[in-house]
Amino acid sequence: MNEATFTFRVDDALKAEFSQAAKAMDRTGAQLLRDFMRDFVRQQQEAAEHDAWFRRQVQEGLDSANAGHLVPGEEVEARFAARRAETRRSLDDAK
Domain boundaries, the chain: 12-70
Residue 44 pLDDT > 80, yes or no?
Answer: yes
- pLDDT for the residue numbered 1: 74
Give the angle 22-27-29 at the CA atoms, nearest 5°.
55
H-type helices in 5-72, by residue range?
Answer: 12-24, 29-66
Mean pLDDT of 53-79: 96
Handedness of CA 2, 7, 12, 17 (dihedral sign): negative
pLDDT digits (tens, 9 = 90+) for 7-31: 999 999 999 999 999 999 999 999 9
- What pTM does this model have? 0.68
